[in-house]
Structure formats: structure tokens, C-alpha cells
Structure 1
Amino acid sequence: MGRPRRQGEPDELSRRLRQLRLDRRLTQPALAGALGVAVSSVSSWENGAKVPPPARLADYAAFFATPRTAGTARLIGVADLTEDERLEYHRLKNELERLHGVQGTGAGEPQSGFWHFPDDGPVRILCGKLPRDDRAPFASGTNHNYMALSAYADLDSMVELFGHVRAANPGADVGYELAPRLESDDLQAHLVVLGSAAINQSVWLLAQQLELPVRQVEDPDVGDGEVFELTGDARRRFRPQFGADGRLLEDVGLLARVPNPHNVSRTLTICSGVFTRGVYGAVRTLTDDNARGHNFEYVQAHFASTTNFGLLIRVPVLDHATPTPDLRSPHTRLQEWPELL
């Protein structure tokens, strides 16, 4: 076990900031001028005497994300970065924030990202209710072995998301409920709607209310699922793929987030699919430990806001497994809306 770091001794973040400057062959005064800070600030950040505020980490990321700053020694706004430069900006910003500790708690769980809500407001995950014929006997309150969750549709997605949102928002009131049991107060929370329009009527109602550019409709080629159709072009339909034996090979998922129409300071997120695999894939896109980092970087780099966008994605199916979609692959992305409202 290494010795504790003494106050004023460079730590990993300090060394990384110094390395970025030296790799660019900049003096401390030149970097300070570009960032609009005193030379003494740059010096103290590099020798570990002080820790830069989070906002300055974003400036570092913007400055070193592009080689164009080398000749001018001035900061370029994120909006003026190219697509590749924005990806590098978000990668570098995430790295510096991790070293700073902005994204971590004692348990090491990220405290930023798509499913972290900085206002610590309540979160409600809304699930559809299984049709009566599909419910287990335990879903009835009269059964001696009654289990309320037996009536929940998309239970895999709900369990996956509930645990992740709770961990990412330890100070928030995070709950789940069947959509038909939604209370008036719940409408003020960060809302997450899980499931297809066929199972969770909240999806259909919200889509109608918000006038989203996509809807779910019945399709004779799919059977019991409802496919996605562009509201402005009924010829554009996005269907799952099946094997010769009728086995599901690929589902379609919808991941969308907009301001909550009942409380615009909070959010409404829809994770939908033609079948349950599409819903689960939409959820896992930004909860999977191995994929959520680069998927969130894609969202940050390609959409003006992470609270107003939508994606239709392919969700592969391998027997019982549902591989997490990779947003970096053009094959994964079927349709994108940089702004929904």
C-alpha cells in the first residue's frame, strides 16, 4: 500500500494536466492566457497545491481536444469543434472529471451521466401491466403467494434501470409503478416510461401529447408487436427481423428524452421497443458498464442537448441474450432526431 499523498504534492490529475501542456509544448503563461486565468493558477493545478474547479476541466478538454489551438493559443468553443473533436472533447472531459473525482463516490459509482439527475428530484419508472391472459396466478391479490411484480411488463428492463438510477442518484426518491396507478404528484418527477405502446398506454398517450415524430402501429408482418412508423411518412416503418424458423433475430428500440411536459425543469424518458428485447436494449444502451461510457459520449457529441433528442436503434437478439447496442456503429442507428420538441 502506497504512502498517503502530502498536501501540495502532484497527484494523478496534476500530472495529467502538466502532461497535456507539455505534449503541446506550451508554457504555463501561454496556457493561462488561453484559459483566461492567472499563471499562478495553472502552476498550482500542476503541482497539486490546488484543485481546478470542474468548469476549468471542461476548458482544458475543449482546448486540448483540437490541434487548431496549437497555433493560436486560444480557446475554441465546443460548438465550433468538428464531430471528431467533440468526441475527443467528451472523452478528455470524462477522463479529467474522473481524476478530479467529480464523477465518483466512495463506492466508485458514477455521479454524472445520462441517468444522473443533478437536482436530486424524484424519479418514477412507469411500467405497463401485462394483459390478464399473460399474467401469472401470483399477480392476483387473492392468491396466497401474491407477488405484485408478477403483473409488471418489461420486468427485466425495470430491474436493470431501477438499480442503476438508485445508484446514480443516492439522494433522490426513486420509485417504480404500474402506469395505470400513476398519481398526480408523480407527474412532477423525472418520468421514465418503459415498454411498447401495446403494453404501456402511457407511451401512446405521451407520444400523442408531445407530437413525437414517431409512433407505434400494428403491422400484419409482425404479429403481436407494434412497429415504429414515422408520423410524417407512413411508408417509413422499422420492423424487427426474424429467422426462417420465426425466431426473433433483431428488435427495434426507441430511446428518447424530452423535458417533462408537466414540469419542464425535469425530464421524460421513453425506452420502448416492438418487443421486450427492444425495450431492454434501449435501457442497456446507457446502463451497461462496458458500453454506457462511449454511448453517452456519442449522445453528447451528436445532439445539442442530452435532454431533447431521440434515437431508433437496432437491438440484436442471441437466444436468451440481448447484446447492448453500440451507438458508434452506423448500422445500429436507424433514425435520429437531434431535437424532438
Structure 2
Amino acid sequence: MNESALARRLRELREGRWPDVRITQAQLRDAFGISVPLISSWESATAPKIPPLARLEKYAAFFATRRSIANGSARVLPLPQLTADEHAQYRMLLDELKQLRNAALRVQSGGVSPRGGAAPGEDEHLDGPWHFADGEPITIICSTVPPEDREKMPSHSPDSGDYIDLYRFNDLDSLFELHGHLRAANPNSLVTLRAAEDIGSDDLTTHVVLLGGVDFNEITKAMLNEIEMPVQQVPDWNGEKGPYFEVSDSNGVRRRHHATAGEHDHLQADVAFFYRGANPYNNRRTLTICNGIYARGVYGAVRALTDERFRDRNAAFVRERFGAAKAYSVLTSVRLTGGVVVTPDWTVDAFRLHEWPEPADAP
């Protein structure tokens, strides 16, 4: 028998967590928004699949409270709605399931950590916001450098033997950082790079990642027009303070967030925008936007969830803060020191300029 302790525990939770009621796989399907065969594969006694960490978080939240099956329907309550006792149950269940998952991963990889000897749990970034279901295609869509600026580059013509196609893309730092992370976190998925001017219809119905703002990336502009949210990027390059992000809070108050400059107009802090929600052209896939007033802000938005020193804590912040929200965004300050971008720590209030949805206790 190849049954894992994790598969057995998931089945035990479903069948015996509450002795007077037995949860069906169909109820978990409805609560988690996934298929019954996928749930069955996680519980298999002969060839169990290992669920991603995000799914185990839903298990923990679901079985932390009987309110998950109140009124005859199955649902996962957002973490902010859990009581103190329910939240304690959530943490206990999640810690247990994570340990069982790490053990299953070690067995699957022949008795060693999937990262070649790393400590248990260090691979968990692969289940963060940048990890998608196996085999689902991902498309990164970038803006390109304007032709008049491209002509100033060496070997800018495709006819040159030294021509480098990547030179035509904006936000190369962000692209290089993100492309490698997406490939590592999704080894069985096709990760495709497209220029905003070169996309085809099939590119827009994958998991879409947009790099760059509305002034250079027409796809970012088009996608944002499809989304109802309180954050707007305004490319006011001729204004007194330049371009900005404008936020409308729940009370109708509008606030502008500008980049800040220091001596000799050197950039001190940019503003970055991270958004995750359903793809408006295919609601079974996601849309992610990494945006900034300048390229430094785009890079900060990317690094928040790829930097090995901060990605786990920022991913944990997202899970704790937004729970099962279908869409969320973080507007954050990106500081520069000595011309170097400092990765924003979303667990520190001073970095976060705005969060959506707003906390339930927001003024």
C-alpha cells in the first residue's frame, strides 16, 4: 500500500472531524472551487497526489469551525471572520498538515528534500502566489521600449548579428527575476513571454502576468478597465508632482500616492502595485499585475514575492490578510538606498500604502 499519512489524515478530517456529520467530497468541491477527482486524488490509498500548500490552508480553515457547513452549504470562511478559538484550531491543523506534507514530499523525492538537502519546509515558496496548478500555461506580457529609444541602443536592428531581442522589452530586471521564479515554481507549466504588441488571443486566456503600467503596457490598461477596484494609475507626467496612484477608500475619500525624490532629483521611493484576481477573459485562470510609477516600483512588486528573504513572510501576510478573497491588491512603497531597490516587507505597516479589500475594522 502506498497510502501516505497526509492522504489518510485528509480523509479522516472529511469523514470524522465532526462525528455527527460526514462531509462529502462534493461539499469540499463546492467550498474549495475545485473538482471531486482532484480531492479524491489527495485522499487516494494507492497513489495519492500531494496538494499544494494553498489547498491545505483551505482544509485547515474549513475544518477549524463548524460554521463552514452552517445553513446547509459548504464554504471556507475568510480568516478575519474566525473567532480566536477557531483561529487557534486553524493554526494547529495547518501546522499538522504542513508537517505531513513535508514528509510526503521527502518520500516522493526518494527520502531527501525536493531542493536537494534543504530543510523541511524550505520549498514552501513553490506553493506561494506564484505557484499554479501543474500544467496550466502562464503568459508574461511586457511593454516594449519606444522605437525612438530603441534606436539609441547598440545593435538595435534585427538585421545585426549582435541583435538581442530582449533589449526591446521594458522592465528587464523584473522580467529576469520573475521568469526564473515562475519556471522554478511551475516546472510542468509552459511559461511564455509576450510583448504587449505581439499577443494572440490564446495568450489572454492563460494565467496572465502583466509587467508595467498603463502608460506603456496597453494590455495593463485594458485589463484594469475590466476590473472594479478602488486603485487607479494616473500617468500625469506633466503634472506638478508627476504620475501617481489614486486610491478611493470606502468613505469616498481620494488619496494620491506619488514617488518621492531626494537631492538632485534622485528617486528615493517609488510606488508599487500588486494585484491578483480572476482573469476577466477566463475566470478559471488568474490575472496578476506588477506595476509601478517607475521601473523600480515594478521590480519591487515582483521582488516582494520572489526575494528568498521576504517571499515567505509576504506570502503568509497575503494568506492571513486576504484569506479566500477572490481578488486583492497591495499598494506599497518601494524604497531605494544607494540606488538599490529594497524589497518591501508587507508585514511592516510603513511599507503598505493601501490594501484592498479593506480590513473589516478599517475606519
Determine which of 31, 35, 44 is the counterpart of 2:17. 35
CA contact (8 A) 1:86 1:301 kept: no
* Cα distance in 2 between the residues matched to 1:59 and 1:207: 28
The corresponding residue for 1:273 is: 292
- CA deviation after TM superposition for structure 1 residue 89, in Å: 4.5
Q: Match for 1:297: what amino acid?
A: A
Q: Which residue of 1 aligns with 2:101?
A: 100
Equivalent residues, number = 291
Cα deviation, 1:131-160, whole Å, max 9, x if unaligned, reads: 223322334213331110001000111111
2:163 is equivalent to residue 181 of structure 1: no
Q: Which of residues 139, 151, 156 in structure 2 aligns to 1:124?
A: 139
What amino acid is the match of 1:182? I
Contact 1:303 1:309 survives alignment (8 Å): yes
For 1:283, the equivalent position in structure 2 comes to 302
Choose 330-339 or 91-100, whichever is displaced more. 91-100
Which consecutive residues of structure 1, in runs of 5 or more, have no partner in the other structure? 1-6, 18-30, 38-50, 67-75
Q: Is 2:274 aligned against 1:255?
A: yes
CA distance in 2, matches of 1:244, 1:121: 47
What's 1:319 paired with? 338
Shift of 1:60: 9.2
- CA separation of 1:259 and 1:243: change in aligned 2, threshold 3 A: same
- Measure the CA separation in 1 of the matches of 2:354 and 2:181: 26
Larger radius of gyration: 1
Deviation at 1:169, TM superposition (A): 0.8
> Aligned residue for 1:41?
none
Shift of 1:184: 0.8
| Inter-partner Cα distance in structure 2 for 1:171 and 1:59 | 23
Give me the whole-angstrom Cα distance separating, in 2, the residues matched to 1:207 and 1:199.
14
- CA distance in 2: counterparts of 1:115 and 1:201, whole angstroms: 23
Instruction: From 135, 157, 170, give the equivalent of 2:174.
Output: 157
Report the equivalent of 1:21.
none
Cα root mean square deviation, aligned: 3.9
Aligned partners of 1:57 and 1:97 also within 8 Å: yes
Give the partner amino acid of 2:154.
P
Whether the aligned pair in 2 keeps the contact of 1:35 and 1:59 (CA below 8 Å) is no
The answer to whether the Cα contact below 8 Å between 1:254 and 1:279 also exists between their aligned partners in 2 is yes
**Offset, 1:121:** 1.0
Q: Structure 1 residues 88, 199: closer, same or farther in 2, change over 3 A?
A: farther
- The gaps in structure 2 that reach 5 residues or longer are 20-47, 66-75, 116-122, 359-363
Q: Distance in 1 between matches of 2:95 and 2:130?
A: 15
**What is the alpha-carbon distance in structure 1 between the residues aligned to residue 315 and residue 355 of structure 2?**
15
> In the alignment, what sits opposite 2:221?
204
Q: CA deviation at 1:309?
A: 0.5
Amino acid at match of 1:174: V
Correspondences of 1:203-242 after superposition (within 5 Å): 203-217=220-234, 218-219=236-237, 220-223=239-242, 226-230=243-247, 235-242=254-261
Q: 2:260, 2:92 → 1: CA distance? A: 34
TM-score where L is the length of structure 2: 0.68
- Matches of 1:134 and 1:96, distance apart in 2: 53
Amino acid in structure 2 at the alignment position of 1:261: P
Describe the shift of the 1:87–1:138 C-alpha distance in structure 2 as closer, same or farther (beyond 3 A): farther
**Deviation (angstroms), 1:198:** 1.8
What is the Cα deviation at residue 84 of structure 1? 11
Determine if contact 2:332/2:344 at 8 Å carries over to the other structure. yes
Percent identical = 39
Contact 1:87/1:298 (<8 A) preserved: no
CA contact (8 A) 1:285 1:325 kept: yes
Answer yes or no: is the 8 Å Cα contact 2:230–2:247 preserved in 1: yes
Moved more, 103-112 or 315-324: 103-112
Pair 1:253–1:82, CA change in 2 (3 A): farther
Question: How many Å separate the matches in 2 of 1:324 and 1:84?
Answer: 34
Listed one character per residue, the Cα deviations across residues 61-103 of structure 1 (whole Å, up to 9, x for unaligned) are 669999xxxxxxxxx9774435898599569736742552367
Identify the match of residue 192 of structure 1 among 209, 219, 243.
209
Which residue of 2 is the match for residue 302 of structure 1? 321
Structure 1 residues 113 and 182: CA distance shift in structure 2, 3 A: same
Q: How does 1:328-339 map to 2 (within 5 A)?
A: 328-338=347-357
Is 2:244 the counterpart of 1:243? no
Matched residue SS, 1:138: coil
